[in-house]
Homo-oligomer: A and B are copies of this chain.
Amino acid sequence: MQTEKKIIECVPNVSEGKNQATVEKLAAAATVTGASLADYSSDPDHNRSVFTIIGEPDAVFEAAFRLAQAAVETIDLNIHDGAHPRMGAVDVIPFIPLRGSDMNDCVQIAAALGKRLWNDLRLPVFLYEEAASAPHRKNLAVLRKGGFENMANKIKNPEFFPDYGDVLHKTAGITAVGARRPLIAFNVNLDTDDISAAKKIASKIRSANGGLPGVKAIGVAVKGGNTAQVSVNITDYTQTSMYKVLETVRFEAARLGVAVNETEIIGLAPMQAYLDCANYYLGCKNSAGAVKVIESHF
């Protein structure tokens, strides 16, 4: 049986997905005893990398700080170009409670990291989602709107004054640090280079427009502009499963005369999210909720 140490996850998103040497440097920086770098992957079109750190809270906190520090030292947003919206060299740092920990632990860690990023690196910070200091500051898309280029002006508005710091970092911009539930980053590539198709589909499926519950979606160009992608965040996979997103994208795409080519999952997803999809597509009459996985029992 396992000891009930607190375990949390942290998923920093960094604005560099082209220069593999920089990505490796950041990965090395995130290596701290007690935390494991469970996964990292880069996308050159998004020009963005996603790191997944899992472990004990103090170690994950330290790994996230060191990764942010390395990002601030190496990335200059003034010369950054990519398909994905961004406002910081380290764009967003969410903490997620996993085992023996709760959202309140992660809210406190987010606040502590925000404070340290400003104190040690002069990197200003928005606290977002569960860590947000006001309801209108919860949504990352609202905070990030306008991007790095517009941020120096935006933070003069008291509504968007940073939670830590008072001036944009000249090369690293501003970072959103927060606490949230597990999220699945699920991208669906279409068989077209017509980005307007991806944007239309994204607009149909996002929950803000009355689409699928807990779904955020944007249309972007990937593969050097040759592929239109519906880039999706599923913020509550217990409400909206990946298969539901995929099948909805598929039938909305059909209406536009395009089809789904392939998908990708960025980072990790909870086991139950995969089980839901396996059960759906296999046509299992077994309840997907009933855990039927050997590894769950030892």
Residues of A within 8 A of B (CB): 2, 7, 9, 36, 38-39, 54-55, 98-99, 182, 242-243, 246, 260-265, 267-271, 274-275, 277-278, 280-286, 292-295, 297-298
Chain B neighbourhood of A295, CB < 8 A: 270-271, 295
Chain B neighbourhood of A9, CB < 8 A: 294
Cβ contact of A36, chosen from B274, B286, B297, cutoff 8 A: B297
A282–B243 contact, CB under 8 A? yes
How far, in angstroms, from A182 to B38 measured CA to CA in the complex? 27
Given A243-B281, A265-B284, 16 more A-B residue pairs with CB atoms under 8 Å apart are A2-B2, A9-B294, A36-B297, A38-B297, A182-B294, A246-B283, A262-B285, A263-B285, A268-B294, A270-B293, A270-B294, A270-B295, A271-B294, A274-B274, A275-B278, A277-B282
Chain B neighbourhood of A275, CB < 8 A: 274, 278
A283–B263 contact, CB under 8 A? yes
Residue of B nearest to A264 (CB): B285
Task: Tell me if A's interface is mostly helix, strand, loop or mixed.
Answer: mixed
How far, in angstroms, from A263 to B285 measured CA to CA in the complex? 6
How far, in angstroms, from A96 to B218 measured CA to CA in the complex? 47
How far, in angstroms, from A265 to B285 measured CA to CA in the complex? 8
A263–B282 contact, CB under 8 A? yes
Chain B neighbourhood of A297, CB < 8 A: 36, 38, 54, 268
Looking at A9, A268, A285, A297, which has the most chain B CB atoms within 10 Å of its CB?
A297
Residue of B nearest to A245 (CB): B282
